Structure 1
Amino acid sequence: MNLSKRDKKHLWHPLKQHQLQPESIAIIKAKGCILTDENGNEYIDAISSWYTCMYGHCNDYIIEKTYQQMQQLDQIMFSDFTHEPAVKLSEELIRMLPEGQNKIFFNDNGSTAVEAGIKMALQYYFNNGEKRSTFIAFENGFHGDTFGAMSVSGLSVYNGPFEDFLIDVKRIPTPNGKNHEGVLNQLKEITSTHQVAGFIYEPLLQGAAGMTIHNADGLNEILEFCKQTDILTIADEVMTGFGKTGKYFASDYIETKPDIMCLSKALTAGLIPMAITSCTQAVFNAFLSDEMVKGFFHCHTYSGNPIACATAIAGIELLQSETIQNNIKRIIKAHQEFNETIKAHPKVKSTRQLGVVFAIDLDTKMERYGDLRDKLLKFFMERGVFLRPLGNTIYIQVPYVISKIELEKVYRVIQEALDAL
């Protein structure tokens, strides 16, 4: 019996309605940008397996650095011990993170990075003698699936059954260059009637919302307002971090820097799960006290795992290399050229790009999980390209190591799909 059939007996896959959708494709090998299934079919991974494998699958350099660490120290509890990979990773990250970030807290994944950030904000005010219980977030934002992260997310397809159990969140529109004044007025109204602990945001690019891009100047005005009104700002860079926007972090495009940042996905190059919540020294100082209970009592068993830290260090070394930086520039330029050929297609409503992320909105009504989306996914896979549409949006987020020939195939298959609609 093949893997796909064996899978159906016991496994429950995420984001899938098992009664309606076909069996899963069994992948037995991945190298570079290529996924290989149990029948020998190959697919270009054009979304870097949910934005994680940005240096390609099974990258030799990362594997070697990870293997070296596996022979030295595998796992040690991080509440009582420290180790070289964690210390070195903190040093490397602080050097590249936006100005002001000074402390590193380890988590397991993007959702838990956000969860920790939310708890930090709430306890920051609690430790300072204030009770603040409301958060501000963008409409249609997505920050994860644990309860705090889910609370600040605005996509009801994920949150519907749990809305009665979520923390208090007030949502504002993303700035578009024309609505700044209205957004600021909403902020003033919210802060005049609620005790706001934090503003959480995906800087410049909302991933799950269809790779929508918002205005940097408008976001900066929101962040400035939060600074002036003593509201902590939490930048969720789980998706945007580590070069995808053309800079190390999307926050590098914005003058006003966050108080707290959430990192995961490309942090460990798709090899080992790990996440980080970083913060300023001022946030950290609120947890320093002679009272034990003012400490941050939040912990994951695999916090600061040495192997994951070594993997992350290797990924950072690659990201900062001349080769990868040149590849990023090459992909950005290729996307721009593809845009010139595709934007006038009759089935294209609009296009947009930020760094290596390129998105096409189709000029057709399409449900987030619907027949047309499923047909497009099948169309792409049958032609050897893994693209996963978000509603009526087809997006590309390829590994930095993709070849010219592979990238041209991705473009060609998208063109064929548009022609077939």
Structure 2
Amino acid sequence: MTGTAGEHLAWLEEGQRHLWLPYTQMKTAPRPLPVVSAEGVRLRLGDGRAVVDGVASWWTAAHGYRHPHIEQAVKRQLETLPHVMLGGLVHEQAARLAARLARLLPGDLDHVFFSESGSVSVEIALKMAVQYWLNRGERRTRFLSFAKGYHGDTFMTMSVCDPDEGMHALFRGVVPEQVIADLPVDADSEARLAALLAAHGHEIAAVIVEPLVQGAGGMKFHDAETLRRLRTMCDRHGALLIFDEIFVGFARTGLDLFACAAADVVPDILTLSKALTGGTLPLAATVASRKVFEAFWDDDPARALMHGPTYMGNALACAAANASLDLFESEDRIGQARAIGAQLAADLEPARALPGVVDVRVLGGIGVIELTRLGDPAWLKQRFLDLGVWLRPFGNILYTTPPLTIGADDLRQLTKALVTVAGEWSARFGKGE
């Protein structure tokens, strides 16, 4: 830690008057916790405490904090070329990263468009899907998405999030209206979705889904067969299929590096971010299939994809992402996610019997305790801090998505905290549910 405690408090006090924090009612929220350093799976707080980060900074720090391989790659790149516009220019890190992603992804997902954030990568996917049809001489401008789905906070991405259950209900009627359905997890929901597509298929540019796990909408799981049904229905009605793998990509499920590969379903467009750079620098990718790309391949300049984030393909971020891919290729992150999943399943199981607990579920490096109703967010976060962990529940969901490099003892500290806090919540609020 640098500076004295007084200096430390000074920057916090001054910043608190000006910082506008995410998902936060600034008038009533408690003061944010100052973090002065991070290493491995721990955050060092301004008061000297070290806490185990159980959410890997919103699922980004897959390799833990300050992995030396990524740090060195970024330092080397900084000494030669920190950034250059990709408008008419290109650099090695972006070219190498695009080629590597194309090799790693299944099927013909081999055309990579970079941006700076996950929400923007989804915006690009939606825009790409609409223009795909326009370039083919057909006007399809609506999207089909799913209850409990979440795809970002920008205006167009809000339109394909759950309109009632999610955090964007305030904007209902302001963002474009889309078609919202239940995931086709069984014969009944499949029949309802088939009827929807029969009625609206001619309007639908694409169907968008988070494959295998709907993340911020409640950590809801579904199986590969659900995705195969979607692929079949999209093919039947001509709609493109978009997989939003911003959360589940890069070994998080413990099944494969990507959920689409685990499910053996190749979408037409796929979005990636979060663990892409190992939690170091902002970067996202929208990856299109050959079929989609060829709709833009034309002598007419008007048929080009007219989109260009200023910092797209930033050289430092691409260097971090290439180093992160090195680690995914050289170290067994999938095996680590599976080991995490086995320990999560065993350690979290006692919570299942608690009053007020709806479900305990685990998939790879994702562990969830679902409560019957909302908890007090401030109380929950404080109790977790008291137990030496950083966890950020949302709604009625207590969850952990730790760095994939976490050891068994640190993971046990997380699971013990989750079960302990679930038990305390149950004693206070769970009886009579």
Shared fold by TM > 0.5?
A: yes
Q: Deviations over 1:300-353 (max 9, x none)?
A: 111111111110011111112234344223212212222444333344321111
What amino acid is the match of 2:274?
A: K
1:400 to 400, 404, 409: 404
Distance 2:332 2:260 in 1: 23
Distance 1:211 1:42 in 2: 27
Report the Cα offset of residue 164 of structure 1. 2.9
1:123-202 to 2 correspondences below 5 Å: 123-156=131-164, 157-177=166-186, 179-191=188-200, 194-202=202-210
Which residue does 1:219 correspond to in 2?
A: 227
Which residue does 2:363 correspond to in 1?
A: 354
2:293 to 275, 284, 297: 284
Q: Deviations over 1:362-417 (max 9, x none)?
A: 2x321xxxx62321111101221111112111111000111211111111112221
Distance 1:263 1:333 in 2: 26
Given the alignment of the two structures, is residue 90 of structure 1 paired with residue 98 of structure 2, yes or no?
Answer: yes
Which residue does 1:248 correspond to in 2?
A: 257
What amino acid is the match of 2:190?
A: E
Q: Secondary structure at the match of 1:418?
A: helix
Distance 1:216 1:326 in 2: 20
1:388 to 359, 372, 392: 392
Q: Is the 8 A contact 2:213 2:221 kept in 1?
A: yes
Report the Cα offset of residue 287 of structure 1. 0.8
1:266 to 247, 264, 275: 275
Q: Which stretch has the larger CA shift, 168-177 or 155-164?
A: 155-164
What amino acid is the match of 2:420?
A: E
Which residue does 1:378 correspond to in 2?
A: 382
Q: Is the 8 A contact 2:148 2:218 kept in 1?
A: no
What amino acid is the match of 1:181?
A: E
Q: Is the 8 A contact 2:135 2:295 kept in 1?
A: yes
Which residue does 1:410 correspond to in 2?
A: 414
Q: Secondary structure at the match of 1:130?
A: coil
Q: Is the 8 A contact 1:180 1:218 kept in 2?
A: no
Which residue does 2:304 correspond to in 1?
A: 295
Report the Cα offset of residue 290 of structure 1. 1.6
Calculate percent identity across the aligned residue pairs. 33
Which residue does 2:128 correspond to in 1?
A: 120
Q: Is the 8 A contact 2:252 2:334 kept in 1?
A: no
What amino acid is the match of 2:328?
A: L
Q: Secondary structure at the match of 2:167?
A: helix
Report the Cα offset of residue 150 of structure 1. 1.3
Q: Is the 8 A contact 1:175 1:214 kept in 2?
A: no
Which residue does 2:72 correspond to in 1?
A: 64
Q: Is the 8 A contact 1:184 1:222 kept in 2?
A: no
Distance 1:10 1:76 in 2: 31
Which residue does 1:305 correspond to in 2?
A: 314
Q: Deviations over 1:253-303 (max 9, x none)?
A: 323310000110100111110100000111011111221111011001111
Distance 2:49 2:279 in 1: 22
Q: Which stretch has the larger CA shift, 100-109 or 181-190?
A: 181-190
Distance 1:179 1:374, change over 3 A: farther
Report the Cα offset of residue 227 of structure 1. 1.4
Q: Is the 8 A contact 1:251 1:257 kept in 2?
A: yes
Q: Secondary structure at the match of 1:82?
A: coil
Distance 1:40 1:61 in 2: 27
Q: Normalising by structure 1, what TM-score?
A: 0.94
Q: Secondary structure at the match of 1:181?
A: helix
Report the Cα offset of residue 155 of structure 1. 4.5
RMSD: 1.7
Distance 2:37 2:211 in 1: 34
- Aligned length in residues: 415
Which residue does 2:37 correspond to in 1?
A: 29
Q: Normalising by structure 2, what TM-score?
A: 0.92
Report the Cα offset of residue 178 of structure 1. 5.0
Q: Is the 8 A contact 1:175 1:215 kept in 2?
A: no
- Where does the alignment leave 5 or more consecutive residues of structure 1 unmatched? none
- Where does the alignment leave 5 or more consecutive residues of structure 2 unmatched? 1-5, 426-433
